[in-house]
A and B are shown apart, each in its own frame.
Chain A
Amino acid sequence: MHVLQALGEMLIFPGALYGLIISMLLAWLDRKLVAVMQGRVGPPIYQPLADTIKLFAKEDLDTEGVNPTLAGLLPVVALACTMTAALLVPVGNHAVISFQGDLVIALFLLSLPTLALFMAGWIVPSVYNVVGGNRTLLQYFAYEVPLLLGLAAPAAFSQSWRITDLMARQAGYRWFVLGMPLGFLVSSMGLIGKLERVPLDAPHAKAEVGAGPLTEYSGRKLAFWRLTSWLQTVVGINLMIAVYLGGADRMWRYWGLGTYLLKMLAYLGGLALVQVLYARYRVDQVSRISWRVLVPLGLLQLLVTVWLGA
């Protein structure tokens, strides 16, 4: 029975199947929100699914001069890492796996796909892929530290690196975002960088480097990369909700799920709003803003938290 339950959690809820469905739904909602804010109609709800099916149905091409094993392996590794991270980050109140230090492991698992993406660009002998891959790596160094610093403040305050502990500390609407708004903003900016969303989407700036590291990819491999990116969005939002927004509050008896969903939509709406409101940063501007603004702010938040907590 225990094995069956574990399998069910991994494969169905809140693991692979649920993760894919919710990530496609959020991908659609994201596009729809942006479209509506821009005065467009936007895609129908099944668009991400249709895209995925189409990509899977296409011929699996091997790019000339690329090691086919590596090109095929990287997206699988990326998706697997993201899915594993999805098991560590609570969906609502419930994380499949939870242990001391899972926050660090989740962040580590979330950073592997970025490195895989860089490699996917680097192994293709095309300028756009290589330049896009380089930018992915440059941006990785820029946003990863703010993201970690931003998430470190609540962890330091709670004196625990376990996500469920952080959620427990926020019970009764004492959300960390209220006490540590700076940390929330810094880590949100880091998350935007990780997800390569506007304004930090220089690695795949269409007018400059085409699709960036994924320029020469199509078919199944591209589908895996897409799914990875969509799932990363979900995991990232879940992480922010758990660490900063109090996870699933119990407003009334069974309304935890409702508040959780509301927070998810609100956070996604925020991301979409940022996408609508800003122009893209250049890669060097990303680094500068990260190290001159975000990192100091994150450190400040951490110091204040530690000082007040002590």
Chain B
Amino acid sequence: MSQITLPIGPQHPLLKEPMALRLGVEGERVVSAEVEIGYVHRGIERLMQERTYLQNMVVVERICGICSHAHATAYCQAVEALLGVAVPARAAAIRVLFCELERIHSHLLWLGVLAEAIGFTTIFMYAWREREHALDAMESISGGRIAHGANLIGGVRADLTPDLAIALGSALRTIEERLGLFDDLVERDRSFHRRTQGIGLMTLDLVRAQGVVGPMARASGASYDVRVDAPYAAYSWLRPPVPITEEGDVWARAWVRVREIRHSLAICRQLIVSLPEGPLAERVPHRVPAGEAVIRIEAPRGELLYYIQSDNSDSPARVKVRTPTLPTLMALKQVLPGLQTGDIATVVAGADLCMACADR
């Protein structure tokens, strides 16, 4: 049978963000895969060299619409490291609270995208409905649904008042109650298993070779979570459990993420109860002394790395962001050949790509 090229993207119903897959297809089987990225490159790293450290707070949050807080946190931590400032305990805890809420809504969003890719629109609707509770909670605390603006260099801007803590608690309860549905989906639903088990296998070797991180890696048996392996902010005393499984297929990625949502809910609840008292932020100077800082944090999709070089001025000399999507894309290029065309959507959606992060 002759080979045809199945173009997926830059615009395609499967993709939430522009990227392009050029797939060589023979009949119903993929024989070759090319990945093209760069469709949402906005030159943000360069832009950040033109702005002051404070102005960059606005810029970094707009790198990504899903893990905006992860970017802001990594950026703040890098600048704070350059300044030699330690954030107050309460600020560190609120940062983590937002990180975990973000993880919850990001994973629910991903579950919805995957469900839609396999034609399971009900789960798509349900997952996105529960996601709203996490978004609403973040909005009520910081005032921003997507770009939260919760962070400051030296601390946080948004405080968790007792009123807000009660509202947050009830939002968490709502999500938790309905999470049972997604547990059932992953553990028991046969039509979900049929489309996800044994699909898009990533071996531990491939994960290690390409440097895949986050839930993708943990679904292939790699025990790596920055929150535990190199704790930052309030994670030094929170110590979240890290769910790991070795199947390495799309199902395993769903299993890991649904588990993580549960653990994130537990962390949020723990933070509400034991939020340290104290100031929200340290005062910091505008001018940052010359130096270099490398910061790693665990974004919803995995390890997010920020490198900032300062030159004793009020704007950074160089900012470099390494997002978790990039290694996933490299691995994806090797996973796609050999798939059925019907599984392309499952695997691509199941990879939880964030092109806005990857392209910047």
Instruction: Give A contacts to B, CB under 8 Å.
Output: 34, 37-40, 127, 130-131, 198-199, 201-202, 205-210, 275-285
Is B240 in contact with chain A by the CB < 8 A criterion? Answer: no
8 CB-based A-B contacts, threshold 8 Å: A38-B122, A39-B129, A205-B119, A208-B341, A276-B122, A279-B119, A279-B123, A282-B340
- Assembled-state Cα–Cα distance A39/B178 (Å): 13
Other contacts beyond A127-B5, A210-B13: 20, CB < 8 A: A39-B125, A127-B7, A130-B4, A131-B341, A198-B119, A199-B191, A205-B345, A207-B13, A207-B117, A207-B119, A275-B121, A276-B121, A276-B122, A279-B119, A279-B194, A280-B195, A283-B340, A284-B28, A284-B342, A285-B194
Quick one: given A127-B6, A285-B194, are A280 and B129 in contact (CB under 8 Å)? Answer: no
- Assembled-state Cα–Cα distance A249/B195 (Å): 41
**Max chain B C-beta neighbours (<10 A), residue from A39, A208, A282:** A208
Q: How many A-B contacts are there with CB distance less than 8 Å?
A: 80
- Assembled-state Cα–Cα distance A34/B124 (Å): 13
Is B74 in contact with chain A by the CB < 8 A criterion? Answer: no
Is B260 in contact with chain A by the CB < 8 A criterion? Answer: no
Quick one: given A207-B116, A207-B117, A208-B14, are A37 and B122 in contact (CB under 8 Å)? Answer: yes
Q: Closest residue to A289 on the B side, CB-wise?
A: B194
Would you list which residues of chain B between 79 and 96 have a CB under 8 Å from chain A?
none
- Within the complex, what minimum Cβ distance (angstroms) separates A138 from chain B? 8
Quick one: given A127-B6, A280-B195, A281-B194, are A208 and B129 in contact (CB under 8 Å)? Answer: no
Q: Closest residue to A286 on the B side, CB-wise?
A: B342
Partner of A208, one of B126, B192, B344: B344
- Assembled-state Cα–Cα distance A178/B326 (Å): 57
Partner of B120, one of A37, A278, A284: A278
- Within the complex, what minimum Cβ distance (angstroms) separates A145 from chain B? 20
Q: Closest residue to A206 on the B side, CB-wise?
A: B13
**B191–A207 contact, CB under 8 A?**
no
**A199–B119 contact, CB under 8 A?**
yes
- Within the complex, what minimum Cβ distance (angstroms) separates A59 from chain B? 22
Q: Closest residue to B119 on the A side, CB-wise?
A: A280
- Within the complex, what minimum Cβ distance (angstroms) separates B41 from chain A? 25
Q: Closest residue to A276 on the B side, CB-wise?
A: B122
**Max chain A C-beta neighbours (<10 A), residue from B25, B121, B129, B189:** B121
Would you list which residues of chain B between 115 and 162 have a CB under 8 Å from chain A?
115-123, 125-126, 129
- Within the complex, what minimum Cβ distance (angstroms) separates B232 from chain A? 36
- Assembled-state Cα–Cα distance A268/B121 (Å): 18
